[in-house]
Amino acid sequence: MTAWPDPARCRAVLIGTTTYTDQVMWPALPAVRANVTDLGEVLTSPRSWHLSRDHCARLIDPASSDHVLDLIHDAATEAADTVFIYYSGHGEKTENDLLLPIATTRPDRLRIGGVRFSVIREIIRERRAPRAVVVLDCCYSGMAHGMSGAALRGLIDTTSAYVLTSSARDTLSLAPPGERHTAFTGELLKILQEGIPAGPADLSIGDVTRALRYRLLDRRLPLPEYSQAGAADELPLIRNRPAPGRPRPEPARPDIRPAGTARGTGRAAGICFGTANSVITVIENGEPTVVPSAEGSPSMPSVVTFAKNGEVLVGEVAKRHLVINSERTVQGVAGKLGTDWSLRIDGTTYSAQQVSAFVLRRLKENAEAHLGEPVTDAVITVPAFFDDAQRQATTEAGALAGLNVLRLINEPTAAALAYGLDEEPDRSALVFDLGGSSLDVSVLYIGDGFVEVRATHGDTGLGGEDWDRRIVEELVRRFKKTTGVDLTKDRMALQRLTEAAERTKITLTGARDARVDLPYITAGKEGPLHLETTLTRKEFQALTADLLDRIRTPFLSAVGDAGLRISDLAYVVLAGGASRMPAVSALVKELSGGRTPLTRLGPAEAASIGAARQAGVLKADVTPMTLGLQGKGGVLRKVIERDVPVPVERTVTFTTTADGQSSLRIRVYEGEQPTAALNAVLGTYTVSGITAAPRGEPRIEVTFGLDADLAFTVSAREAATGRRLTVTQQPT
């Protein structure tokens, strides 16, 4: 990381607009005042750049665009080190510019009364300061470079410009109810004030941005845009102050592991651990094979029953107890992970992790019976909106089930991997996942070997079971109409109706009508009663029309929050067993502008197949990801490329930049993005013990290696003497 900016040579301009002439087009944003005030306190604090207050201009509700541009021009001219520019308020986009309205701007005179970002960009290009930081918290700030799409790619095409923007829509630029700041700046300020647990001592803009993306993803909000345009290294922003309490673990990335952490010796599997149903897939002869349950179905209900004889039942047999033994039966335990939920049965208390482990262990046993050999490792899917606590609890459940969890992978990402979309260059895809108990719609950005969730929306109260309940209600209504008997009063009858409803729904997926025959469903005054009726697909769709309509909002919101148009989507993938229903798949096709969704792998099995493919890569004898360093211009300098056979070693020669320098700091990245900072940080290493000499004279050979178990090592020596140097890894 580069040296800290010199406070005496830095300038900052923080601008916010809280009120507008036209309150209809641009509603008031009272939280903007707190945004500007509190960010100014951060920049003037000793933990950050410690700017003098005279060097940190804060302007609320500017009266004219000239005032704004004059402040920015003066700051950019006076700053001999770094200039920091922040704007919070509404934004309007044109084809080639971002317009920032101020208090006196009229909508019909926006191009005259507003502030043009293109003018700000020209000021920055001509600045005296060698570095510039631009943070925009406004609608359509993803268009700040005049791009035709939402993503910032080229940004400000000048040396050492760091640009962080909220979004291409207004979601992040509004204040959530009861909160002091807007969503974007509020989360940014929390990181600056609380620090990053287990992070480095000095947090760069890149460190802060990565933490910000995770926090917004946890809240199911759109992700911000960030770029280091032409920056040779990361700029320190604030000194870390880890928050008290249990550290928040980083998202699992065990593709490449530090030395000493070995994989299991058995086979690896991909597991889709769903709230309603779960699937396990293994790789056989290089291809994924979905392992059937004991009943022969590709999926197994995620249901656990604690029988009164002490036996623990899992899967289909447990599901039959949902009604008749509900107090000892657990369904949807995956949704309880990461919470304080527990269940006390016969004097024993079970946590969500322990109950989940019963499901995962049964899947593991099914796979081992199928393969005839042990399964020791797994990649497990989780919803994209899972927070750190939920992800950690999922890993713990896997460990309790006897599995070494190689990676947790987002369900939409897994579905994309199943179809090989990660090999597509620069595309966007939508994954529509309607499972048994929830709906998730995610928009993905796909690069060469890279998949990122850009936006996710859903409905946690909508799933295939809701369609089942409508069938149950209709059958109960018909039976009561003909016999006068209410089947909801008979728990055994209700269980049979629930099972029949799911079978009927599945039948109507491929047929126009379904016959329901339930002999001896209950007893009346004159003896046994039977349920015999036919439900047509047309009747079924009429019964569930309102459920179908609830799909529209999450679908369109996910696309909008990603800053895309429907036509920008290259692929639409169906996942989740309930998405097989003809009415659902037809509506998805309609919402996708007529694009036929990908379904050939089976929606219920797609995520598990993608997880299995990932597990196969992690257990293979080649490097799963590229390892590299940050080179000139911020590009990723590849050291060990992806798909190279292991074990492998590569040596890079370094030198010193100061007289008498005794140590080097090296940051190693993993990923396929051409810009180093957009990849994950594998680790930061310090090489110490270098013999004192004039700068540029020492030759330090640093060797990076991956062994057959994908354990990563770093060693170093002086080229002239062959003397071994000390290498230590810093906490990350």
Which tens digits make up the pLDDT trace of 214-270? 777 666 677 777 776 555 557 889 988 764 443 333 333 435 655 544 555 678 899
**Can you give the pLDDT at residue 725?**
93
Residue 183, pLDDT > 80, answer yes
DSSP string for residues in 655-704:
--SSTT--EEEEEEEESS-SBGGGSEEEEEEEEE-PPP-STT---EEEEE
**Residue of 393, 255, 366 whose CA lies nearest to 608:** 366
C-alpha to C-alpha distance for 588 and 684, rounded to whole angstroms: 45
Q: Phi and psi for 595 in degrees, rounded to 5?
A: -75, 130
* Cα→Cα distances 244→183, 197, 198, 241, Å: 23, 8, 11, 9
**Can you give the pLDDT at residue 249?**
34
Is residue 158 within 8 Å of 125, Cβ to Cβ? yes
C-alpha to C-alpha distance for 191 and 719, rounded to whole angstroms: 42
C-alpha to C-alpha distance for 447 and 454, rounded to whole angstroms: 12
Residue 54, number of CB atoms within 10 A of its CB: 7
Query: 3-class secondary structure for 503-561?
Result: HHHHHHHHCCEEEEEEEEEEEECCEEEEEEEEEEHHHHHHHCHHHHHCCHHHHHHHHHH
Tell me what the mean pLDDT of segment 376-403 comes to. Answer: 88
Which tens digits make up the pLDDT trace of 404-457? 988 888 888 889 888 888 776 678 899 999 988 889 898 988 865 567 778 888
**Can you give the pLDDT at residue 221?**
72
Which tens digits make up the pLDDT trace of 89-117? 888 876 667 888 888 887 777 777 788 88
Residue 613's pLDDT band, with cuts at 50, 70 and 90, is confident
Query: 3-class secondary structure for 81-139?
Result: CEEEEEEECCCEECCCCEEECCCCCCHHHHHHHCEEHHHHHHHHHCCCCCEEEEEEECC
**Can you give the pLDDT at residue 248?**
35
Mean pLDDT of the residues in the chain: 84
What secondary structure letter does DSSP report for 624?
S
Map residue 306 onto helix, strand or coil.
Answer: strand
**Domains of the chain, start order:** 7-239 (3.40.50.1460), 257-419 (3.30.420.40), 464-546 (3.90.640.10), 627-730 (2.60.34.10)
Residue 732, pLDDT > 60, answer no
Which tens digits make up the pLDDT trace of 55-70? 999 999 888 888 888 8
Mean pLDDT is lowest, of 247-251, 283-287, 427-431, 638-642, for: 247-251
| CA 451 and chain centroid, separation | 10
pTM over 0.85: no
For tokens 């469903």, name the residue: 521
Q: Which amino acid is it at 732?
A: T
Give me Rg for the CA atoms of the chain: 29
Share of the chain above pLDDT 70, in %: 88
What secondary structure letter does DSSP report for 150?
S
C-alpha to C-alpha distance for 163 and 135, rounded to whole angstroms: 6
Higher pLDDT, 174 or 530: 530
C-alpha to C-alpha distance for 468 and 485, rounded to whole angstroms: 21
Q: Phi and psi for 249 in degrees, rounded to 5?
A: -65, 150
Which tens digits make up the pLDDT trace of 338-380? 898 999 999 899 999 999 999 999 999 999 999 888 999 999 9
